[in-house]
Structure 1
Amino acid sequence: MRDQKERVYIIESTMKNEFRHALATTLITQEQHDKYLDELNKLTSYIYNKYENSLAFYDEDWNKINHYYEKITTLEFVRDYIKDSLEDCWLIEM
């Protein structure tokens, strides 16, 4: 089982790649790309800073991450296999 920081890193890297792909294929604008990236950076920075020396997450942190996941899965430009990949690597292991 992966630790929480690794799962956050997987979400972060997967979504950055997906945002770049969507921008490159003109599915989103540069402004949208920047907005999505900023939101992702805020979430991951919060997690990394809060748990710099710890592996334990609290319920409110899981709720933030789950809320983010639910938002991502509703975005039309996010490809289905990316959504499935996030579910496989993240939610199942929770």
Structure 2
Amino acid sequence: MEAPKSYIGLSKFDLASKMQDAYQISPSWSNVKLRGEFDILQIMDNVYVPKEAGDTGKVLEPITSYYPEYGKGGYPQLKTNSVIEF
């Protein structure tokens, strides 16, 4: 399995609803019911802190906070433009 151009959460949750709340994910974007583990070395040269507004804004957002309407946020996130292989 693989995921192209993905956001990466550093915390593990047992419930999709908790993941959605922590990473402020709209149900229209994802049901967050798939969790994968992978070797970070495969993307280490192409990982960065995304910007606000879905990586289109001007301010870096290392901790989720931009979409309070979708959850509490407060968790670290990264992003890659590489394909992640699980």
TM-score normalised over the length of structure 2: 0.28
Indicate the structure with greater strand content.
2
Larger helix percent: 1
Query: TM-score, normalized by length of structure 1?
Result: 0.27
> Which entry has the higher C-alpha Rg, 1 or 2?
1
